[in-house]
Structure 1
Amino acid sequence: MSESFNSMTGVAAALGIGMLVGFERERRKGQGESRASAGLRTFTISALLGYVAIKVGGALLLAIAAGGLALLVAVAYWRSQSKDPGLTSEVALITVLVLGALCSTEPRLAIALGVIVAGLLAYRQKLHDIALGQLTDGEIRDGLILLIAALVLLPLAPDRYIDPYTSINPHTIWTLTVLLLTLGAVGHIAVRILGTRYGYVISAIASGFASSTATIAAMGNFVASQPGNIRTLAAAGIFSNLATMAQVALILGAVDISLLRPIWIPLLCGAVATAIYGLCLMRSPRDGEVNDEPVKAEGAFSLKLALIVTLTMTGITFLSAVMLDQFGQAGVMITATLTGFADAHSSTASIAALAKSGQLPITAIVAPALIAVSSNSVSKCVVAWISGGRQFAMYVIPGQVLLTLAMWLGVLWS
């Protein structure tokens, strides 16, 4: 019964893929003698052929079917070569055959790939316009660098510690580098769509959930190409702290909702201070400064800067590990301070785990959690100076100091 159900699921998936792609091609094949050779019926039958071939004769029969289909496609292409020099429909037909075969083992994956193929076919003209008219050579170059870094180099990076203090992991280091490049690209896309005034801020808040420190570095990276928007960039970096506050609250609440009771006021005070300072930066430009300067779309990010920031953060992590090893576990406070330089979230999680297990009173989590966030603010100030220079750091540092003071003052009210 189960095998029969799986077979029907595979058939349905293959049928759905063939019809989905076939409908799109049918709309574009035209009519009369000049129409294309493949439409709804051809694509649907090809998908079912791939499924039946792999089920009946395995890989050998599938290869024979693919070879025969390729021959038919070549003949059809030769006959219509003078009218349509493209190979899109022909390649799509063979792809549908293979996806139909994939439905026998991985129907969900096959359906997902089928939707992607249909989307690429449906938005052909828009993709052509973007590639030919909207993307610069620098953006295409950076896109290739990001794909190589994420899909080629990252899987090859060894996932193990290479130092005696278990702090330097090549896979983690390169993951952070890819994250920085990705955040830069996300910010660049948001600005191209929304403009500098709001694009940077929105992308910074969203990217802050991945890494607020990396987001500040990405904003600093844009200073060189957008010097007239330095206050907006600094405001975006400051706004990324809202994600930090939210994540600390989410981590504590996920471990135990009662852990939020003693710390929600300090976190709220920090968030309010962050929002006020960020809005002041955005709404009070200096004389001669432009808040919506046209984007100079030369590239999406700086690989050199991403590597420098990654190495800086790795150095901070290594120094924290050395200090802990040399001076021992001198208490939760010291641990929170040192680990907070690299990541406030992991430190918060460890503090929450201690409180959940009863090793630390719930009321005692406030100080170490805020220390972790405070030390992380120091790292953000350093990263802001390295990535964006002195002027960018002069806008970011007061905001980091203000939100840190606001959190500690919030302790008096909680």
Structure 2
Amino acid sequence: MDVADPVALFVALGIGALIGLEREQSESAGSFAGVRTFPLVALLGGVVQLFFPDLLGVVLALYLVLVAIGYASKVVLEGDIGMSTAVAAVLTFVYGAMATHSGDGLVLSVVFGTVTAALLAIKEPAHAFADRIGRDDLRDALTFLILALVVLPLLPDEELDVLLGLNPRFVWLMVVFVSGLSFLGYVLTKVLGPEKGIGLTGLFGGFVSSTATVMAMAEQARHNPELTPVASVAAAIASITMFPRALILVAVVNPSLALSLAVPLLAMTAVGVVLAAFVIRRLRADGTPTVDLENPFRLGPALAFGAFFAVILVLLETLNPIFGEAGVYGTAIVSGLADVNAITLSLGRLALEDEISRSVAETGVVLAVVINSIVKMGIARIGGSAEMGRLVMGVLGTSALVGVVIVVLR
């Protein structure tokens, strides 16, 4: 027997003990199996795979019969038809066999065993999350997966003259990435529920849609003046989220440009967070504003963003040779009035291909972010109230000014 074999058997025991302990503490196993049975099951799988590999299929079949009998008895005696424990018992046998299998079996058994225990442990949060997800959300998520995993690989990965030199797969990849980032924020808002606190309301709302979050906060401040301070902070935090989000987008298409942009964007983020935290500490208002955000991934908006991104990319490639830096900055200003994602991805791509310099791309991204920040300040002032406008301008305006100063001095 190899020296590593006892280690693999002890790992199998550990996996079974982990899953068995979770089942015992959750009181979900009942009379079916518990903290002693699961380690023995994992050990059985490991020993059979190690010493009698030819009999593994037979032993597994016999074990499945025992599991079926145990599950049937549990249903009859306790009236519990839940199958989680029965399935976990079968997986525990498999993980035990994997632990003593050659190759990557040991590592994979640890990974999947840990994931299994984690999934079993999050029963209540998982059910709560499922209750918060509507059928429309599920449909949109499936649409996203189809467009990401089915449509994307089918698109040609080359620049086509008929599309003015655009690469269809790259454009759609950016659509999928931006939508996926927003969708992640939306899922987090569903997981956390409606009572998230000021900071998380702004943070996750900003990753879904910072503009939509600012608009929602402005509306609540207008109709509920007592919520103006907290709504203002949530709006400011949502807007600040735009800075690290832009950095993430740049890092995907141009990591070297992201390193250069990290200084102004992270400085803007840090200043905004400090100012927002200072305002939060001084708040005396009660209540936390909520944001009723729609699922950010819908086919129509995704296609609209793809078209907008393609237009910005074509404009930059057309205007840059004619007007130089002025054309890039003009496009950044116009794009920043509506959306930062498209211009950020476009400038990152052009800088990667050396069609514009890194300094021009960096200035263009910061310029677009600043213009978009000004737009959000206007939304807070016009859509909300004068007080909200002052609070958002104090936090967001100072952050934007810091970014401008850094770019100018560099």
Aligned counterparts, 1:333-372, within 5 A: 334=327, 338=331, 342-344=342-344, 347=347, 366=359, 368-372=361-365
> Which one of the candidate residues 86, 89, 92 is aligned to 2:85?
89
**1:11 Cα deviation after fit:** 3.1
What's the CA shift for 1:81?
3.1
**CA displacement at 1:96 relative to structure 2:** 0.8
Structure 1 residues 317 and 45: alpha-carbon distance in aligned structure 2, compared to 1, 3 A threshold: same
> In the TM superposition, what is the alpha-carbon distance from 1:181 to its structure 2 partner?
2.0
- Residue 154 of structure 1 aligns with an amino acid whose one-letter code is A
How many Å apart are 1:268 and its aligned residue?
7.9
Give 1:20 deviation, angstroms. 1.7
CA contact (8 A) 2:18 2:117 kept: yes
SS, match of residue 33 in structure 2: coil
- Native 8 Å contact 1:200 1:233 kept in 2: yes
User: In 2 relative to 1, CA 367–194 (structure 1 residues): closer, same or farther, beyond 3 Å?
Assistant: same
Shift of 1:269: 7.4
Q: Residue 110 in 1 paired to residue 109 in 2?
A: yes
| 185-194 or 74-83, larger mean C-alpha shift | 185-194
SS in 2 for 1:303: coil
Corresponding position of 2:166: 166
Distance 2:200 2:10 in 1: 42
Measured in 2, the distance between the counterparts of 1:397 and 1:198 equals 14
Tell me if structure 2 keeps the 8 A contact 1:47–1:96: yes
Deviation, 1:328, is 5.9
Map 1:18-29 onto structure 2 (within 5 A): 18-26=16-24
Q: State whether structure 2 residue 234 is matched by structure 1 residue 236.
A: no
1:45 paired with 2:40, answer yes
CA–CA distance in 2 between the matches of 1:38 and 1:8?
25
Q: List per-residue Cα deviations over 1:54-100 (Å, max 9, x = no partner).
A: 55676x84443332112112222333433323333322211211222
Distance 1:345 1:143 in 2: 27
Unaligned runs of 5+ in 2: none
Report if aligned partners of 2:267, 2:403 keep a CA contact under 8 Å in 1: yes
**Residues 110-146 of structure 1, C-alpha deviations (whole Å, 9 max, x = no match):** 212212332344455x44xx73xx5684535466457
- Provide the C-alpha distance between the structure 1 equivalents of 2:76 and 2:383, rounded to a whole number of angstroms: 60
C-alpha spacing 1:45/1:315, structure 2 compared with 1 (3 Å): same
Q: Is the 8 A contact 1:26 1:39 kept in 2?
A: yes
Q: Which runs of 5+ in 1 are unaligned?
A: 208-213
Contact 1:11 1:48 in 2 (8 A): yes
1:180 corresponds in structure 2 to 182
Give the Å deviation of 1:325: 4.3
| Percent identical residues | 19
Q: TM-score, normalised by structure 1?
A: 0.66
Match of 2:133 in 1: 139
Q: 1:247 to 1:73 in 2, by over 3 A?
A: closer
AA in 2 matched with 1:107: L
Structure-1 residue corresponding to 2:151 = 157
Residues 257 and 82 (structure 1), Cα distance of their counterparts in 2 relative to 1, 3 Å cut: closer
C-alpha RMSD of matched pairs (Å):
5.3
Contact 2:183 2:297 in 1 (8 A): no
Taking structure 2 as the reference length, the TM-score comes to 0.66
In structure 2, the partner of 1:74 is 68
Displacement of 1:43: 1.8
The 8 Å contact of residues 238 and 400 in structure 1, kept in 2 or not, is answered as: yes
Partner of 1:315: 307
SS at match of 2:133: helix
Report how many aligned residue pairs link the two structures. Answer: 376
Inter-CA distance 108–336: structure 2 relative to 1 (3 Å threshold): farther
Taking a change above 3 Å as real, the CA distance of residues 88 and 255 of structure 1, as seen in their structure-2 partners, is closer
Q: Which amino acid aligns with 1:310?
A: A
Q: Closer, same or farther in 2 for the Cα pair 1:313/1:277, shift >3 Å? A: farther
Q: Is the 8 A contact 1:25 1:40 kept in 2?
A: yes
Deviation at residue 351 of structure 1 after TM alignment: 5.2
Amino acid at match of 1:48: L
State which drifts further: 105-114 or 60-69.
60-69
Alpha-carbon distance between aligned partners in 2 of 1:308 and 1:384, rounded to the nearest angstrom: 27
Aligned mates of 1:352, 1:39 — CA distance in 2: 57
Q: Distance in 2 between matches of 1:65 and 1:375?
A: 65
Whole-angstrom distance in 2 between the partners of 1:267 and 1:77? 57
Distance 1:171 1:138 in 2: 29
Deviates more, 1:137-146 or 1:236-245: 137-146
* 1:29 and 1:36 in contact (8 A); partners too: no
Cα pair distance change 1:268/1:38, threshold 3 Å = closer
User: CA, structure 1 residues 249+302, in 2 after alignment: closer, same or farther (shift >3 Å)?
Assistant: closer
